[in-house]
């Protein structure tokens, strides 16, 4: 599991900036496609809804993710996501 700083966008709109993201990356042995899953934590006042977003990692890679689970607590929001396909580097 890698740990990165990231920005999450929906279209051109920045949803979350400079968030610490935990990311698992692997390759599906049958299809050869890259796949990923991960999570991040948002502090009170920050919020994201389930749906499609684009993640921009600090190392210059980016790709689409699906936020598929969120959990609100008194200390903030836990967020889980999945994705597939290669990250592109820009």
Distance CA 53, CA 58 (A): 16
Residue 16: band (very low, low, confident or very high) from pLDDT cuts 50, 70, 90: very high
How much is the pLDDT for 79?
Answer: 96
Domain count of the fold of the chain: 1
| Range of the structural domain that residue 24 is part of | 2-89
Question: How many other C-beta atoms lie within 10 A of the C-beta of residue 38?
Answer: 21
CB 19 within 8 A of CB 58: no
CB 51 within 8 A of CB 67: yes
Residue 58: band (very low, low, confident or very high) from pLDDT cuts 50, 70, 90: very high
Place of tokens 């977003």: 53
Residue 12: band (very low, low, confident or very high) from pLDDT cuts 50, 70, 90: very high
How much is the pLDDT for 7?
Answer: 97
Instruction: Determine the distance from the C-alpha atom of residue 12 to the mean position of all C-alpha atoms in its chain, rounded to a whole number.
Output: 16
């Amino acid at each position: 599991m890698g740990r990165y700083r990231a920005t999450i966008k929906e279209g051109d709109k920045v949803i979350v900036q400079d968030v610490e993201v935990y990311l698992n990356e692997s390759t599906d042995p049958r299809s050869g496609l890259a796949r990923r899953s991960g999570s991040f934590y948002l502090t009170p006042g920050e919020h994201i809804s389930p749906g499609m977003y684009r993640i921009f990692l600090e190392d210059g890679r980016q790709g689409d993710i699906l936020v598929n689970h969120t959990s609100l607590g008194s200390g903030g929001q836990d967020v889980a996501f999945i994705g597939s396909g290669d990250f592109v580097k820009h």
